[in-house]
């Protein structure tokens, strides 16, 4: 079986991640001869970061704080249910003569 190694870097930033961090990560991938990586942050990326990862050979997925929270909710990781709501609809068969 031939599986690719995927490198992951996670950063907790309050401000936008500097593009230099993405370039450094890409350089690390290159030094390891890795083709795939995931860079995760709790904040966001500048437009230039997306342009940069689109222009290099390595495939780097950028997951920002919004994407991360959606993935956490979708996969029930690090979250708990606080309130559950029940939605009702009219049963039109009940009112037929």
Write down the pLDDT at residue 97.
65
The number of folded domains in the chain is: 1
Rounded to 5 degrees, what are φ and ψ at 63?
A: -110, 115
Question: For residue 39, what are the contacts with CB-CB under 8 A and spacing of at least 6?
Answer: 8, 9, 10, 11, 17, 21, 22, 25, 60, 61, 62, 63
CATH number at residue 45: 3.40.1350.10
In a domain, 13, yes or no: yes
Write down the pLDDT at residue 4.
83
In a domain, 61, yes or no: yes
Residue 93 has pLDDT above 90, yes or no: no
Please state, in angstroms and rounded to a whole number, the distance separating the CA atoms of residues 64 and 47.
12
Confidence of residue 1 (pLDDT cuts 50, 70, 90): low
In a domain, 25, yes or no: yes
For residue 97, what are its two tokens?
């003569």
In a domain, 32, yes or no: yes
In a domain, 1, yes or no: no
How confident is the prediction for the chain on average, in pLDDT?
A: 93
Q: Which domain holds residue 82?
A: 6-95
**In this structure, are residues 13 and 42 in contact, taking their beta carbons and an 8 Å threshold?**
yes
């Amino acid at each position: 079986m031939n599986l690719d190694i995927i490198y992951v870097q996670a950063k907790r930033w309050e401000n936008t991640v500097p593009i230099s961090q993405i370039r450094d990560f890409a350089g690390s991938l290159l030094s390891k001869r890795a083709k795939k990586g995931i860079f995760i942050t709790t904040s966001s990326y500048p437009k230039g970061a997306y342009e940069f990862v689109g222009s290099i050979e390595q495939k780097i997925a950028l997951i920002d704080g919004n994407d991360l929270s959606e993935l956490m909710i979708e996969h029930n990781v690090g979250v708990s249910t606080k309130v559950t709501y029940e939605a009702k609809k009219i049963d039109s068969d009940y009112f037929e003569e």
